[in-house]
Amino acid sequence: MFDFESVSHLNGYIKQSLADNPYLAEFSVVGEISQYTVSARDHAYFSIKDDQCVINCVIFSRNRAALKIEPEIGKKVKVFGGVDFYSQGGKLQIIATRIENLGDGDLHEQFNKLFKKLQNEGLFDGSHKKTIPILPKRIGVITSISGKVISDIVNTVRKRNPHHDILLYPASVQGSECPPEVISGMKYFNNAKNVDVIIIARGGGSYEELFCFNDEGIARAVYASEIPVISAIGHEPDYTIIDYVADVRAATPTAAGELVIASYDDQMKEIENLALNLDISINQFIDSRRKALEVYKNHKALHSPAFYAMEQQAVVRELRTRLNALSGMFVEQRASEINAVKVRLDALNPGNVLKRGYSYVCDKDGKAIESVKNVNISDNVSIVLSDGALLSEIKDIEIKDDGGN
């Protein structure tokens, strides 16, 4: 067994061993970009992974400027370069010189397919989302029993409002065990109906570490939940499928603690303001009624009932005067209308027409003769005047010439 004098000695040996390996000096490797950040000096730091392993990479600004693509998280790429071991930090990474795009990565493609499927089915629709209660009595949390997530949520909620209960359902938040355990927690809370709201939470992590929350089973369990659900997965930039299905998405677990319950102090201030406004309104109402009572108390009707009766008699007299005036106007108007109709009827009276020297001819049955065509020679007719009739016999018939018609 070889004894190294120090960590520096060991790390220096590892660095030299890697540098002496021709297979690691220059190579290419295929993977999916899972993290990607650019420094202030334009160096890009990223990770590539497959379904089992991850390795860190860096491409310096001079090589990054020559890239024909802009690397993105979720893209499948081929990285060209060599291995470097940073001895001071004990960190192994690939120094990339070139990156080629091979399309979408497997995880990214899985995410897009599931996203489109659930979106088409309406699992993301806002109309389905439930309202988070302002003051839940008990809060259900599905997360890991260890780590900072549960303590952050508990501390945040306690600071905001001490009048609550938190019920933890322990579940894995990474790997293959995550989906069935989270689904089990959802079923437990919905069957027991022992909480008013559910938080599903985990801290930050890489894309592949959070990918277990891009699970169709979890998404459908959240959608089917009768209890409102808040998702709090990772940090602000991290989005998973359940963030779109949940009723509310919190950027972090701490933010979920702030969203899940109203501040006790804020609620007390609001109650105090409401109580103050109610007190003011009641006092104003009582004051207005007191003033009205003073007016009624000093009214003469209370001291002399006869005064009230006299007031009412005056009102009746006024109404009678107005009624008489209106009825007189109505009668005069109707009389004028009747006279106008009478004048028109008189003008149309046949007797009055005959008095002006006109007459008409009728046959022996008293039917008016309107045309010479209705009589014959020797017919007896009557010529009716205003004061009688003349009996005549038709001796001759003269037809008026109307121009050949």
What are 202-230's pLDDT values in tens digits?
A: 988 877 788 899 999 999 999 999 999 99
Nearest by Cα to 204 from 172, 166, 239, 175 = 239
Which residues neighbour 178 within 8 Å (Cβ) at sequence distance 6 or greater?
Answer: 171, 172, 212, 213, 215
| Cα dihedral 353, 359, 363, 365 sign | positive
Contact 27, 82 (CB under 8 A): yes
CA distances from 316 to 89, 187, 265, 327, 362 (A): 107, 79, 64, 16, 65
Distance CA 110, CA 346 (A): 102
Distance CA 115, CA 39 (A): 31
What are 150-195's pLDDT values in tens digits?
A: 999 999 998 888 888 899 999 999 888 999 999 999 999 999 999 9
Q: What is the DSSP string of 279-312?
A: HHHHHHHHHHHHHHHHHHHT-HHHH-HHHHHHHH
Distance CA 82, CA 15 (A): 12
At residue 139, φ and ψ (nearest 5 deg) are -115, 125
All domains of the chain in start order, with CATH? 7-104 (2.40.50.140), 110-123+136-262 (3.40.50.261), 352-393 (no CATH)
pTM metric for this prediction: 0.50
Distance CA 33, CA 20 (A): 28
| pLDDT per residue of the chain (405 residues) written in tens, 0 to 9 | 778 889 988 988 898 888 888 889 889 999 888 889 999 999 999 999 887 888 999 999 999 998 888 888 888 889 999 999 988 888 999 999 999 887 666 677 788 889 999 999 999 999 999 999 988 989 999 999 988 899 999 999 988 888 888 999 999 998 889 999 999 999 999 999 999 999 999 988 877 788 899 999 999 999 999 999 999 998 877 789 999 999 999 999 999 999 898 877 887 888 888 888 998 999 899 999 888 888 777 766 566 667 667 778 888 888 888 888 888 888 888 888 888 888 888 777 777 777 777 788 888 888 888 888 888 888 888 888 878 887 888 888 887 766 555
Nearest by Cα to 79 from 18, 36, 16 = 36
Looking at residue 352, what is its pLDDT?
Answer: 72
Q: Name the burial class of residue 15, with classes exposed (0-12), middle (13-18) and buried (19+) by CB atoms within 10 angstroms of its CB.
A: middle
Distance CA 188, CA 201 (A): 16
Looking at residue 179, what is its pLDDT?
Answer: 93
Distance CA 304, CA 299 (A): 9
Report the half-sphere exposure of 38 (CA within 13 A, side-chain side): 9
